Structure 1
């Protein structure tokens, strides 16, 4: 069975699904970090997202999915100017991956058979204009983390080795998942995720039964199950495209900007990335809901996801980050 589980059919986990939809509307939000128990649908949601995303238009044969012929890198030797549609790339970055596999390296086969120095693109090239997914992101090796930080900052992959000097665009939405019991994430990488979501196993019987029912139907009555939920996924994809169109037209008042700053100051979040991400996420959800302007309600809807991972530890406050954000929201944005 090659079809992924439909995104719309995932039971519960509303905040996780909302965060992923928001990054589909505005990739500039900066990605999603999903932390929680094993078996809570983290990987399933990412696979489902791949099938949900609208297609992109790219130059035929371009290894970095360039949107225009003039954007194709010279080393790729792309001669075609034909534009084709293809699925938005969602690329897995496995644990234990080598640096060459990530950034690309010398094409050994061509070097040996033809005596030519040629570049073999890596995972970052394939992920350009799409998503890069890291399962168990908190177990990623430090040198790969450093590499991803550099590329995420610049939006460009630079490879200089074995006599090669290669550059290409590498703009992608980073999606990471992990189990907090297996270790924390380095602060530098944690800050690179726009949104952070905590998922837990459902505690009520009815929700767990519904999960079992849908999974059983997916495996044993796949045709009817997919027919039902594919329509809902199609409607959601149309809503994402409509939100992308509406995003530039949204009105953002001075009061909303003031609320963003006041909330982040009250929470003591470091830097200004919190305000910027909070505003982008609020604009995305406002566009998704068809609103004409961003309101305080939109800020409240996305504040936990945008800010919970940006808080300093407070030894005098034993409450978790989610509780602290909720408490501060009540005080600052009543």
Structure 2
């Protein structure tokens, strides 16, 4: 069945905005979605796959390379037939083996032909797309270490059984989870550009609308999709326009000062917070059709870019989102 339309998701505006921003500028660094079960986290990720513009790639390339020069030698592709494919969205299941993630020796070819050949893993399939991890806080530590290395370098390196294999692995990491089931390692938490918190709707009308749309999706599928695909197409066009305009969005010294002031007031470690906040503010400005980043754009993206970067304060009972909002009102009145 066709994925649930992105535009038809009820509420969860911050989560949808964060995913749109990473579609506009993948360098923002991915999205972490924490919240209750059954709040549309995985639905939104799968809906995003259908929403995103397709990519041009070399036919048969296991890394979704745009040109033959980018396709690794071990793929054995000699002719560059360019085809259009949907933006890849790859699921990483819990309990996945290291070989499945990074790739491994093709045992069948080794036994039948005596050849050493590489079988690409999930990281290759996710190149130029999205890597989705449900229950990311339950991911095994050695897999987390692998992701950290690849996220840092943008390249997957496998050295095993006499093979030394490299291929590009640049993807947007999307993780979801329930905070009650365990915390995320700080090293991986910092790799997510944006973080959002979702919760169950608290009003009757919203819950009824969720049921109405889901029921129509399952029982009157064709009519439901026809209605919402037009809105998805409009959103896709907005994303493409924002991508084209992104490089022309101006950032003044005042905007740079505002980003640094907010991060300093919040005590966020390192400079990744400022850089991510600036990238997110520029992306939302491009999406809005603005020619320059303003304080409104910084205010709109600061909670997403910074809430997961704050140090814990045992004396402050307010959540991290509330702390960001409080500092924004003081630093950027």
What TM-score do the two structures reach when normalised by structure 2?
Answer: 0.99
Provide the rounded CA distance (Å) in 2 between the counterparts of 1:235 and 1:111.
Answer: 49
Provide the rounded CA distance (Å) in 2 between the counterparts of 1:149 and 1:282.
Answer: 25
Matched residue SS, 2:250: coil
Matched, 1:30 2:29: yes
Provide the rounded CA distance (Å) in 2 between the counterparts of 1:213 and 1:317.
Answer: 40
Matched residue SS, 1:16: helix
**Per-residue deviation, residues 165-215 of structure 1 (Å, max 9, x unmatched):** 000000000000000010000000000000000000000000000000000
**Per-residue deviation, residues 218-246 of structure 1 (Å, max 9, x unmatched):** 00111110000000000000000000000
Matched, 1:136 2:135: yes
Once the two structures are TM-superposed, the CA of residue 315 in structure 1 deviates from its matched residue by 2.0
Matched, 1:252 2:246: no
Once the two structures are TM-superposed, the CA of residue 101 in structure 1 deviates from its matched residue by 0.2
Provide the rounded CA distance (Å) in 1 between the counterparts of 2:332 and 2:77.
Answer: 53
Corresponding residue number in structure 1 for 2:159: 160
Corresponding residue number in structure 2 for 1:308: 307
List alignment gaps of at least 5 residues for structure 1.
none
Provide the rounded CA distance (Å) in 2 between the counterparts of 1:82 and 1:111.
Answer: 28
**Per-residue deviation, residues 12-43 of structure 1 (Å, max 9, x unmatched):** 00000000000000000000000000000000
Matched residue SS, 1:257: helix
Once the two structures are TM-superposed, the CA of residue 74 in structure 1 deviates from its matched residue by 0.7
Provide the rounded CA distance (Å) in 1 between the counterparts of 2:215 and 2:65.
Answer: 40
Corresponding residue number in structure 1 for 2:237: 238
Corresponding residue number in structure 2 for 1:67: 66
Aligned ranges 1:138-287 → 2 under 5 Å: 138-287=137-286
Kept after mapping to 2: 8 A contact 1:61/1:80: no
**Per-residue deviation, residues 109-142 of structure 1 (Å, max 9, x unmatched):** 0001001000000000000000000000000000
Answer with 78-87 or 115-124: which moved more. Answer: 78-87
Provide the rounded CA distance (Å) in 1 between the counterparts of 2:157 and 2:250.
Answer: 38
Matched residue SS, 2:233: helix
Provide the rounded CA distance (Å) in 2 between the counterparts of 1:132 and 1:101.
Answer: 13
Kept after mapping to 2: 8 A contact 1:36/1:200: yes
Matched residue SS, 1:4: coil
Matched residue SS, 2:247: helix
**Per-residue deviation, residues 38-71 of structure 1 (Å, max 9, x unmatched):** 0000000001000000001111111101111111
Provide the rounded CA distance (Å) in 2 between the counterparts of 1:46 and 1:220.
Answer: 22
List alignment gaps of at least 5 residues for structure 2.
none
Matched, 1:293 2:279: no
Corresponding residue number in structure 2 for 1:52: 51
Corresponding residue number in structure 1 for 2:89: 90
Matched residue SS, 2:124: helix
Answer with 303-312 or 75-84: which moved more. Answer: 75-84
Provide the rounded CA distance (Å) in 1 between the counterparts of 2:122 and 2:199.
Answer: 30
Matched residue SS, 2:197: strand
Kept after mapping to 2: 8 A contact 1:194/1:306: yes
